[in-house]
Structure 1
Amino acid sequence: MQGTSGPSVKVGIVGASGYTGAELLRLLSIHPNATVTYLTSRQFRGKQVKEIFPHLIRSPFEELSFDEFNPERAVELCDVVFCCLPHRASFPAVKALMEASSKVKVIDFSADFRFNSFETYESVYGVEHGARELFKEAVYGLPELFREQIKRSRLVANPGCYPTSAILALYPAVEAGAVDTDHPVVVDSKSGVSGAGRKESVTFTFCEVNEDFRAYSVDGHRHGPEIAEKLGLKSVRFTPHLVPMNRGILTTAYFKTELSKEELQHLYENRYKGEFFVRVRTSPPRTHDVAGTNFCDIYVTKDKESGLAVVVSAIDNLGKGASSQAVQNMNLMFGLPEEAGLKLFSLWI
């Protein structure tokens, strides 16, 4: 579908057969300025989109075939490449793409370029980074915080789904100096199973997940340092949980503050009043409210007895936590309307 304004953007997706790749394809099928020209998948090489994703039959790219990754071919066919690979597997592909062309733009879904330095990445992930020189180009892809930098960047590190929900929940208070950092900042998040990716694992089979609710990485999760760094905090006590639903994240954040509930509400409404995709609510959000969308819904209150602010945020982990946020970043990088292809509202139930 040709856009009425702005450039036409040729799009590639590396690792397109996972959940985030499938969600990208769904969103790009209705994007007024995007044309999908290149897809890769080792597992489904040679297969057409309609064979692997029947829900995309009659999409503009239903007969496009999955290819093996070739950086020279990718940059020949694409203006931007979404890299939907896991951390450690992603940075070699990103490096190859950026070395193959000085013009192609890359949006990376992994954690490989999310930190300010490769030293922090190597400390958190316990591996040596093979593309250290690219850290100086990478911009953290959270538009509500880094919009102007994203517009000028060739390499955007798409945030993690947990960090997106937590950072947006805490940022107005941190920015205003309203968080008492002498007390812990606590982030408690629950995610649907799709957050673990589309892979074979006993842990994520139906019988292991259904009728169950579990915390994991309780002794420390790698997203904790990511959240703390972007907020400029020394540390954040982050605990993730797995809940038996397909998609969605509900985060509850707690921090000590002197502000009243009314002052907090005003602070959050004022900070996000110009942000189309952040909706500050007067009632706690549900994951159904944002399913399939790029919205982050936020509710803030205060517990009078403890003096703790309580902020609840809801996002779709495959949407604002991954693919739709990546499209939002693409729009910024190419001077398109930020909401292009993303004015979707939840199915709700």
Structure 2
Amino acid sequence: MSIRVGIVGISGFGGGEAMRLIASHPSFELVYAAGEGSAGSRLADRFPGVPAKLADLVIEKWDPAALPKLDLLFASLPTGTSAEALARVPKDVKIVDIGGDHRYVEGWTYGLADVWPDRIEGQTRIANPGCFPAAVLTALAPVLVNPLVKPSRIVIDAKTGISGAGRGGGDSKFGFAESNENLVPYGLLKHTHMPEMATTIERLSGGSAAGLVFTPHLVPMTRGVLATIYCRGRATTEECLDAARRFYEGRAFVRVTERPPQTKWATGSNLAFVSYAADPERNLVIAMGVVDNLGKGAAGQAVQNANLICGLPETAGLDGAPVWP
């Protein structure tokens, strides 16, 4: 079965990672690529290592009124730029929006694929989670659902690689001289992923996420997200690990580990690693989540969601091992 696929925003990091995964997907055929500044160039001009079968595909200017016949469209556009245009895409074209415009928007399904796969199957409009929520919520879901921690007053300390800012980052602070050997907190108190995480925490737990604190940091590496999450709860470490093992039993992409996870474990993959450390006497549970921000945090989960809505094996095109070292 060949499913005709398009990517909007293909020259960005998220779109480029989606292209890499689709190029080797057993059922997806990339027939349409669109962008703004890159329009008119061939894929090989932007990605010299692209497979030969895609090298001569010309990047078109993004226009939802001029789409070829497609079955599935991946949109990897900056938050705030896709809502109006994607509303004009024909209803018979399935969409996975990697950007942030449709998370918890009416008519769109929130695509937290490892937690709610049954809600995604058969849908046609999927809002991909952000990179930080992918790490945070995958780690929190088992201990919120059981419940082993309280949903209120959760504190999240997260680190991300520079590629999370997008290609070029839109700001000189993401250049090598500014980023190398530097650690930078940002988005304090008002990060765009806060509402998404708070809403999901409440839906998982049935309680209030009041008091949620989230502080992201840029670290001088290309890929990866590590979220360290401080929660209130009387559970033991083993109870948390056991809850996660049961919650993710049979799930292909979540690894529960007794060791604190490292970002390198997930590089270039759609894997998520979760772990826990708890001290009941201190009423403290520390949950940890690791993903590749371009993999599970963006294009990897997008392909996983696309597999679910297209009725394909969830692991199709995503079986590759992480890059090491």
Separation in 2, partners of 1:44, 1:223? 28
Asked which structure has the greater RCO (Cα within 8 Å, sep 6+), the reply is 2
Calculate the aligned-residue CA RMSD, in Å: 1.3
The sequence identity of aligned pairs, in percent, is 36
Match among 116, 132, 137 for residue 146 of structure 1: 116
Separation in 2, partners of 1:8, 1:171? 35
Secondary structure in structure 2 of the residue aligned to 1:311: strand
Corresponding position of 2:38: 44
Corresponding position of 1:68: 61
Which segments of 5 or more consecutive residues in structure 2 lack a partner in the other structure? 203-207
Match among 17, 20, 32 for residue 23 of structure 1: 17
Give the AA of the match of 2:99: S
Match among 232, 238, 241 for residue 262 of structure 1: 238
Q: TM-score, normalised by structure 2?
A: 0.94
Separation in 1, partners of 2:79, 2:192? 12
Corresponding position of 1:79: 71
Corresponding position of 1:104: 93
CA contact (8 A) 1:220 1:239 kept: no
Give the AA of the match of 2:159: K
> Offset at 1:222?
2.2
- In the alignment, does 2:260 pair up with 1:284? yes
Secondary structure in structure 2 of the residue aligned to 1:37: strand
- Number of residue pairs matched by the alignment: 318
Separation in 2, partners of 1:107, 1:202? 30
Secondary structure in structure 1 of the residue aligned to 2:304: helix
Match among 129, 139, 155 for residue 186 of structure 1: 155
Separation in 2, partners of 1:308, 1:329? 34
Secondary structure in structure 2 of the residue aligned to 1:174: helix
Separation in 2, partners of 1:59, 1:174? 47
Secondary structure in structure 2 of the residue aligned to 1:187: strand
CA contact (8 A) 1:203 1:209 kept: yes
Match among 197, 205, 209 for residue 234 of structure 1: 209
Corresponding position of 1:91: 83
Give the AA of the match of 2:2: S
CA contact (8 A) 2:154 2:209 kept: no
Which segments of 5 or more consecutive residues in structure 1 lack a partner in the other structure? 1-6, 116-134
Secondary structure in structure 2 of the residue aligned to 1:245: coil
Corresponding position of 1:208: 178
Q: TM-score, normalised by structure 1?
A: 0.88
Corresponding position of 2:2: 8
CA contact (8 A) 2:156 2:230 kept: yes
Q: What do the CA deviations read for 1:169-218 (whole angstroms, capped 9, x no partner)?
A: 1111111122134x611111100000000134211011110010011122
Secondary structure in structure 2 of the residue aligned to 1:143: coil
